[in-house]
Every structure is written in structure tokens, then in C-alpha cells.
Structure 1
Amino acid sequence: MAVSQTTQWRLISGTLGVMCLLLMATLGILLKLSHSKRDIEPTSFPGLNIEPQKGSDCCSCPEKWVGYRCNCYFISGEVKTWEGSRSFCVSQNSSLLQLQNRDELACT
């Protein structure tokens, strides 16, 4: 009778171990997909209203641009060189914003 119980517990612990490994593999895959998706999406900045500005007293921003303090900003998730980004801005009759540090992102 003791041998039967030992075999039964080994079967249960083996099954639980396999389930644990499957759950860990699934979690790893989900985290990897989450990271790759986040790299593609546009960057969002805390405190910055990323909704296009409508009916502002100062300015009206083009579609997909962000209005903030009477200025329009385009936040791209596309990876480009500095020169490529600058060329895009020139084609949009705008200039490339250069932040010196993270504090400049803070909205006061």
C-alpha cells in the first residue's frame, strides 16, 4: 500500500512540475511579445496630453499632432536617424525638438 501511494505522489508532483514549466514558458513568450509591441508604439510622456488639440485659443494642430501651450508636436514611434528625423520635420514645415534632459518633459 505504501508503494502505491509513493507512485501516486510522484505522478502528481511530476504533473504539477510540467504545468509549472508550461506556465513559465507562456509567461516568457507573453513578456517578449509585450516588449516588442511596446518598442513599436509611439512613446507617451507622463503629464503630456497626447490628444490632438481642438478649438484652442492659440493654435490648431494638424491631425495626429499634439497641441501643448500654443505649439504643435508630432510624436513618432518610428526609428530614424537624427538626419532622417530632421528631414521629415523640414518636409512638414517644422523643426526637430531637442530636449537636453528628462526634466524638460515635465509639464508645469
Structure 2
Amino acid sequence: MDYSQLVGKVIADRNSRKLGLCLDIRRSLISGASGDKPFITMMVRIERVLRDSIIVQVEAKKILKIDGIYAWIDTTKEEFNETIKNAKKVELSKKKKTKMLILLF
């Protein structure tokens, strides 16, 4: 799949509720016993009411389908928000002041 077409798409959950906007695609390699495997993530900006927006990384292979300006991922908004809350708790415990979280489902 050509993941570069995801840039600029609105990311929605499997129930078609908006999660954020895809800003960029990042490619990296994960080394394993059978060699290096490509690992592709998309940078998603999450807009929050009365707060700063945050940028999270989501695995690109979680995409279910792409249609028009929308792309659907295989999760629900509740699961997505719960993962963000748990990631923030880990981030706050390390006392780092970054606004980027990595979400791996």
C-alpha cells in the first residue's frame, strides 16, 4: 500500500468518528531475528477543545480503508483516547515535556 496518500487525510475510527489529521508518514526499520523489517507510522494531530493540540504516532498498517478525504483505522475513539491517557501517564512519570506520543495498538 502506498502510505504517502494518507498525508492530509482526516483519520477516523471504525465508527466514522473523527480522531485527527494525518500530517506525515515516518519510515524506520525494526531489527529482528529474520532481518530488518520496515516499520511505518503516521503522525496524527489531535485537536482538543480548550487545550493545545497533540501529535501522536499511529502504526500505518492499522488503516482499514481510504475514501476521499477520510481514512479509517481499526480502533474506536474510546480505545484511542484511553491509549492517549495511558501514554500521558507514562510520559508524566518520566517528567519529560514533549507533546509527541507514540501509540502502538
Please confirm whether the aligned pair reaches a TM-score higher than 0.5, indicating the same fold. Answer: no
Higher strand share: 2
Higher helix share: 1
- The answer to which structure, 1 or 2, has the higher relative contact order (CA under 8 A, 6+ apart) is 2
Length-normalised TM-score, structure 2: 0.21
Length-normalised TM-score, structure 1: 0.21
The structure with more radius of gyration: 1
